[in-house]
Amino acid sequence: MPFLFLMPLAAAAVALLARSPGQAALGTVIGASGIVADAVLMASSLPLSGGGDLFRLDELGMYFLFLVAGVHLVCAVYSYGYFRRETERGHLGMSKVRKYHVWINLFVLSMVSVVCAHHLALQWVAVEATTLFSAPLIYLHGDRKGMEAAWKYLLICSVGIAFAFLGIIFLSRAAGDFPLTYTALSAAAGKLDPRFLRLSFLFFLVGYGTKMGLAPMHTWLPDAHSQAPAPASAMLSGVLLNCALLALLRILPAVPGSYASPLLILFGIASIAVPALLIAVQRDIKRLLAFSSIENMGIIVLGIGFGGGARPAALLHVLNHSLAKVLLFLVAGDLVLRYGTQRIQRIHGIFRQAPLSGVLLFGGVLAIAGSPPFGSFWSEFGILAGGISGGRLAASLAYLALLAVIFGSFLMYGSGMVFGDGNPRKLSAPELWCLLPACVLLVSCLWLGLHVPAGLYRLLERLSATVAFS
């Protein structure tokens, strides 16, 4: 396990010494592949523990670790092409690129610690560290909007996380003599002081919910995710939110479902409803994607809240959302650079001018909206089915209606951008290293939609048993 922590550190050191964007990106790619390789090697010998009570990697952690590492690898490859173009145009100097690679690796380090943390207070420290290491990424460009977004992000998330710490304090009161590790807590589920446990869960939900961007604590998210450079946005949306989700999932086994489930459903529906309204009137492509992240986090939380058959579907949706959202952010980042604008209205006729980008964008839009050939259709459908069979009819219907609204909006934006007449200005040439990662992601989205591997399905069943309410 120490290897997991050393790889990003080494990559950050390489980035500090790098003389060109290529060298820095190479270091990050190697670091990312190292994490992936290490994760593959460790996958057979789970659970692993280290540092006494502090670290432990179980299957759930491994699932999220693969997400982090995989997305990191893809984004690292993409960042090579992205920053090469940015530096060629003079948007960014080498020092900024170096900064990006240093911070992104530290950011990954903090996320790996979230995933591997066993003690909940340590996990809290790691989640707070993710905020701190990702804030510099948001104002990388150093413009007004970036500062504003970073300021909001830092302040709101720090306060949110502070609430989560109150949750930990209450949890330690509830736990009494039990150590605050997730294994000990799930083992002691029935023996905890219920009053403090409820308080603790509430604060966890609000605290980590802020970090996940659940409405109404989501206000920082669209700003932060739209201002960061594209690969960083992809990391923020695609994996950071999941890490916060994991932090929340860890205490679920200790909490009685009768208390937790309605709260999760409430926050879930709110987090789908608020972006559903805002997505319909969005003008900025990256903000659109950021709102969609809020919505998808809402879907996942809703699925966890439904419980039963919806739970494995929600965990599957974590994967599907990550793939589709990272794909969209990467493609959108590329398009924003090539069109020179983030305004949705100014981007049109992509298919005519850059067919591959058009296919990728439209595929991504379909995937994120939950259209049939893609994986997210199945996971969203599974959550709906789980909700209905669990007797949560009203919530399920609301969920379905909101999904329809979002689907409509996305289809409208997607077709508006992809089809139609091309932009009068000639676009710059496509960048191989930007498109290749996106292609990989689109193929995996499609693959998950056509065929969920039996092994994955069994894994999800096992995982959902470990996060079931007590």
Partner 1 sequence: MNTLTVLLLLLGIHVAVTDRIRPAIRSLALQGILLGFLPLADSAGSSWRAATLCLATVGVKGIAIPAILTRATSRLGIGQEFESLISTKANILTTGALALAAFLACSRFGLSGSDELGAAAGLTLIFSGLLMMTTRVKAVSQVIGFVVLENGIFLFGAASGSEFTLPIELGIFLDLFVAVFLMGILMFKIHRTFTHMDVRKIHTLKD
Task: Scan residues 47-86 and list those touching partner 1 (CB under 8 A).
Answer: 52-54
Residue with tokens 């789970």, as numbered in its chain = 46
Task: Scan residues 194-233 and list those touching partner 1 (CB under 8 A).
Answer: 199, 222-223, 226-227
φ and ψ at residue 46, rounded to 5 degrees: -80, 155
Task: Scan residues 229-288 and list those touching partner 1 (CB under 8 A).
Answer: 278, 281-282, 287
Stretch that binds partner 1, among 58-66, 166-174, 228-236, 418-426 (CB under 8 A): 166-174
> Of these, 150, 252, 323, 347, which contacts partner 1 (CB under 8 A)?
150
Q: Would you tell me how many other CB atoms lie within 10 Å of the CB of residue 191?
A: 12
> Of these, 2, 89, 91, 145, which contacts partner 1 (CB under 8 A)?
145
88 binds partner 1 (CB under 8 A): no
Binding-site size, partner 1 (CB under 8 A): 47
Stretch that binds partner 1, among 36-44, 156-164, 233-241, 442-450 (CB under 8 A): 156-164
343 binds partner 1 (CB under 8 A): no
**Do 325 and 306 contact (CB within 8 A), yes or no?**
no
- Beta bridge partners, 56, equal 49
> x/- contact string, 124-143, with partner 1 (CB under 8 A)?
xx--xx-xx--xx--x--xx
Which lies closer to partner 1 via its Cβ, residue 409 or residue 423?
409
* Alpha helices, DSSP H, located in 354-392: 355-369, 375-389
154 binds partner 1 (CB under 8 A): yes
Q: For strand 55-57 and strand 48-50, is the pairing parallel, antiparallel, or unpaired?
A: antiparallel
How far is the C-alpha of 439 from the C-alpha of 432, rounded, in Å? 10
Stretch that binds partner 1, among 114-122, 241-249, 374-382, 417-425 (CB under 8 A): 114-122
How far is the C-alpha of 460 from the C-alpha of 312, rounded, in Å? 5
**Do 317 and 384 contact (CB within 8 A), yes or no?**
no
Query: What separation in angstroms does the CA of 252 have from each of 170, 214, 384, 464, 469?
Result: 15, 17, 21, 11, 5
Residue 343 DSSP label:
B
Residue with tokens 């599957």, as numbered in its chain = 316
- In the complex, minimum distance from the CB of residue 239 to partner 1, in angstroms, rounded to a whole number: 20
> Of these, 40, 41, 43, 144, which contacts partner 1 (CB under 8 A)?
144
Burial of 123 (0-12, 13-18, 19+ CB in 10 A): buried
> Of these, 39, 57, 149, 365, which contacts partner 1 (CB under 8 A)?
149
> Of these, 87, 158, 415, 466, which contacts partner 1 (CB under 8 A)?
158
155 binds partner 1 (CB under 8 A): yes
> Of these, 102, 180, 188, 438, which contacts partner 1 (CB under 8 A)?
180
Which lies closer to partner 1 via its Cβ, residue 132 or residue 436?
132
- In the complex, minimum distance from the CB of residue 151 to partner 1, in angstroms, rounded to a whole number: 5
- In the complex, minimum distance from the CB of residue 466 to partner 1, in angstroms, rounded to a whole number: 23
How far is the C-alpha of 456 from the C-alpha of 316, rounded, in Å? 9
How far is the C-alpha of 306 from the C-alpha of 390, rounded, in Å? 7
Query: What separation in angstroms does the CA of 396 have from each of 70, 163, 243, 377, 389?
Result: 32, 30, 26, 15, 10
Which lies closer to partner 1 via its Cβ, residue 60 or residue 168?
168
12 binds partner 1 (CB under 8 A): no
Stretch that binds partner 1, among 117-125, 228-236, 306-314, 394-402 (CB under 8 A): 117-125
Query: What separation in angstroms does the CA of 5 have from each of 8, 84, 286?
Result: 6, 28, 31
- Residues with Cβ within 8 Å of residue 4, at least 6 apart in sequence: 35, 38, 39, 65, 112, 116
Q: Which residue ranges make up the site for partner 1 (CB under 8 A)?
A: 52-54, 119, 121-122, 124-125, 128-129, 131-132, 135-136, 139, 142-145, 147-152, 154-155, 158-159, 162, 165-166, 168-170, 172-173, 180, 199, 222-223, 226-227, 278, 281-282, 287
